[in-house]
Structure 1
Amino acid sequence: MKKLLYLLTLSSFLLSSTFLAPGAQAATKLKVGIAYDIGGPGDKSLNDSASAGLTRSKKAFSISTVEVTATVGTPAERETRLRFLLAQGCNPIIVIGYRYAETLKKIAAENPNVSFAIVNNATVDLLNVASLVFGTNQSAYLAGAAASLASKTGKIGYIGSANPPAFDSQESGFVAGVKATNSNASLSIKYLQDPSSFSGYSDPTEAKAVAMAMIASGVDVIYSAADGSTAGTLAAITGKKAWMIGSDSDQYLMASASQRKNILSSTIKRVDIAVYDFISTSVQGSTVNDVLDSQAGIYGRLYNLKASGVELAYSGGFLNSYKSKLNTIKSGIASGKIVVPTDGFVK
């Protein structure tokens, strides 16, 4: 009953003045607002990928854009950024990162005729908010399998930004992939900060220290799921007899020639596709509203392996000898034969 009521209300929302008929919408130039998380474009992570999706959209559609970036990451600052986009007349508005969730819930409730999307979060249960989330537990599982296949010592490391166990499914997916491939492998798991701090998302100095300690203990493959801190992991591992697996974007393509020698792979989160999809549907006078959790009233889209929303990079060719095995695992995950553990949509 709740689902039916929600869908009826959603239908009414789509017919409201917020969303014009496709012809009328095409005649009205959209002003798209985007609020990046800490680090902004140039972070070699989610913000960069979101920026790529925005750039693609600008080439494909007649839209204008306004871009802002969180710098200190406080709720007050995030609210200021979103209110600035509203004052500029932006509709739709896209926010990058789960840390915007509470602020977005407040702002979106106050502005029901503005369409919003949030990347990496599925907790905002409002009609005008689309949750764009990723099956990164699945790509992390592939990364774990790759790490086990490539490791010579059987000692594997995982570095995360912060330790919020309520939603971090990258760790659980990675550990499962490692153990399913080599049950004798040992794991060293370290987080840079606890959830109360934002510094772990952009602390390459700490990431470098953690990675160096891991390498000294015999770890020869490190999965760095550490957002903007990953540069520190790469700095520690460059020139050593060890590998790094990056996250979110293909780190190999953004690295120097000397750094590339130590980048085994990366898990890729196609935020660019999600941003483009959302803008594309807005241009057509609609929104992204797949069912994510009908009981909680969460709608948007899940980008997993089956939907080509996450993937494992093969740049550099270092995984080519394992590609057949990894493709078999990938097919098993996509088909549901391999069930990957998860603690949520967000990471």
Structure 2
Amino acid sequence: MRQVSKIAVASIAAAAIALTATGCGESSTDSGGGSDDSGKLKIGMAYDVGGRGDNSFNDSAARGLDKAKKELGAETKELTARTSETPADRETRLASLAKDGYNPVFAVGYLYKTAVDKIAKEYPKTSFGLVDSVSDVKNVDSIVFTEEQGSYLAGVAAALKSKDGKIGFIGGVDLPLIKKFAAGFEQGVAETNPKATVQIQYLSTGTDTSGFASPDKGKFAAQGMLDKGIDVIYTAAGGSGAGAIAAVAAKPGTWAIGVDSDQAKDPALSKYAASILTSVVKNVDTGVFELSKSVKDGKPLTGTHVYSLAEDGVSLTTTGDHLKDIQPKLDEAKKKIVDGQIKVKTTT
């Protein structure tokens, strides 16, 4: 497994104007469209449920796309998965982008793995970027993260900031990827304050991905935890996290922990910034930009790239200086993880 040695934090460029597609319930934005012979870089982006504007995971990928448009002069097309669709729908989405000459084509989310494995073989001259899962197809760049490590640090922060040691975790769907977040977080809490407790709740199960795009479900789950005296809630649930953050912000003296993007800086959530303790950031934008640039340079990245805590592939945000009083302890925990003294679990 090849590992990235250095992560450059991608800058946030201007967001593309969202347009709604009329077919198949997909949203689409297209700044170029179609194939041409100009040699101009054309990037296709297939988002997970929630798409651009989820204030979280998909938006992190979108930032990388925006940077590629700005710095590499790329044309782009964006498509978004629906909450209820078959694997064939994802295959069709990826194939349509590759057929229209987009290269690279990004598949954002682990649910695209099967589709990437199939479609990448059918379009061997196209580079595919698979986020949050691993494919062994030779023209695929698998972009994965050590979510559990960033979540461990969030657990340390939660344990140190909670008044009574009552802490909550809300996951979008009860799947292995989200359970990595829960496992790291729970371990970080326990090893910082053994007397603390973590209530874990998932918004949907199995193939039901609505838990990633239902702010109302996030808000309801968070409110239930707050009613039980929980005063720090970490939500790893894509767009549903906005609801949880809103619920926390409505109760003084409690903290929300965001995910994937610096949610305190997100325009849609900035009004809640005073209640967002930190966010566990996954620099998906870096992976998107690095593959895009490699394709433009004629040397497409392939293999598995693990963006870890050691290379700042995952990190805690410091917006609002809410961590200032506990930063030394967070730095100590980070050092121990990087040095291998702390082995972070990936399952609860």
TM-score (ref. length: structure 1) = 0.85
Q: Does 1:259 align with 2:272?
A: yes
Q: Does the 8 Å contact 2:258/2:280 carry over to 1?
A: yes
Residue 277 of structure 1 is matched in structure 2 by 290
How far off is 1:310 after superposition? 0.6
Residue 318 of structure 1 is matched in structure 2 by 322
Using the alignment, how far apart are the partners of 2:72 and 2:176 within structure 1? 40
Listed one character per residue, the Cα deviations across residues 26-77 of structure 1 (whole Å, up to 9, x for unaligned) are x932211111111111111121111111111122224222221123452232
Q: Secondary structure at the match of 1:175?
A: helix
Q: Does 1:67 align with 2:71?
A: no
Matches within 5 A, 1:81-120: 81-120=93-132
- Tell which structure's C-alpha radius of gyration is larger: 1
Pairwise CA RMSD: 1.8
How far off is 1:257 after superposition? 5.6
Using the alignment, how far apart are the partners of 2:48 and 2:271 within structure 1? 29
How far off is 1:196 after superposition? 1.9
Residue 342 of structure 2 is matched in structure 1 by 338
Using the alignment, how far apart are the partners of 1:343 and 1:29 within structure 2? 43
Using the alignment, how far apart are the partners of 1:38 and 1:308 within structure 2? 26
Change (3 A) 1:212 1:166: closer
Alignment equivalent of 1:224, drawn from 219, 235, 239: 235
Q: Secondary structure at the match of 2:319?
A: coil
Alignment equivalent of 2:310, drawn from 288, 306, 310: 306
Using the alignment, how far apart are the partners of 2:159 and 2:305 within structure 1? 31
Using the alignment, how far apart are the partners of 1:205 and 1:221 within structure 2? 19
Using the alignment, how far apart are the partners of 1:282 and 1:145 within structure 2? 39
Using the alignment, how far apart are the partners of 1:340 and 1:184 within structure 2? 19
Residue 162 of structure 1 is matched in structure 2 by 173
Q: Does the 8 Å contact 1:37/1:73 carry over to 2?
A: no
Aligned sequence identity (%): 42
- Opposite residue 327 of structure 2, the aligned amino acid is K
Structure 2: where are the runs of 5+ without partners?
2-37
Residue 192 of structure 2 is matched in structure 1 by 181
Using the alignment, how far apart are the partners of 1:258 and 1:55 within structure 2? 24
Alignment equivalent of 2:58, drawn from 41, 47, 68: 47
Q: Does the 8 Å contact 1:169/1:343 carry over to 2?
A: yes
Using the alignment, how far apart are the partners of 1:105 and 1:35 within structure 2? 15
Using the alignment, how far apart are the partners of 2:258 and 2:74 within structure 1? 33
Moved more, 329-338 or 311-320: 329-338
Q: Does 1:249 align with 2:261?
A: yes
Change (3 A) 1:327 1:275: same
Listed one character per residue, the Cα deviations across residues 179-205 of structure 1 (whole Å, up to 9, x for unaligned) are 110000011110011122011111111
Structure 1: where are the runs of 5+ without partners?
4-26, 290-298
Q: Does the 8 Å contact 1:239/1:258 carry over to 2?
A: no
